[in-house]
Amino acid sequence: MVRPSAGKSDPDEHDPDDLVAIFGAKLKAARMKAGLTQAQLAEQSGLLQQYVSLVESGKQNVTLTTAQTLAKVVHQNVSTMLRRPTPRPRRT
């Protein structure tokens, strides 16, 4: 599922409440920390590499079951991967 940009001026700017984007970014970071390629993550989770790519880029929604499977492969807790990041203090 591709998400419309909902009037955002910067296409790379993500809504801080967009759980699809949050999960995707955290999945990518955890995968890289685990030293896995997308292909390896896909194989170990029983998914296609193209699907993993879409998930990581925040363009593909996942079921809770799939999120849990992906999180297990990268040794993370799915609830941790769904938490919003803490906002950074703005510099003035």
In the chain, how many domains are there?
Answer: 1
Domain annotation covers residue 30: yes
CATH number, domain of 26, equals 1.10.260.40
**Confidence band for 17, pLDDT divided at 50, 70 and 90:** confident
> pTM above the 0.95 mark?
no
The structure tokens listed for 20 are 């699809």
Domain with 34, as residue range(s), is 19-81
Q: Distances from the Cα of 32 to the Cαs of 4, 26, 27, 73, in angstroms? A: 27, 10, 9, 12
Closest C-alpha among 28, 37, 35, 77 to residue 57: 28
Q: What is the pLDDT of residues 49-89, one digit of tens each?
A: 999 999 999 999 999 999 999 999 999 999 999 998 777 77
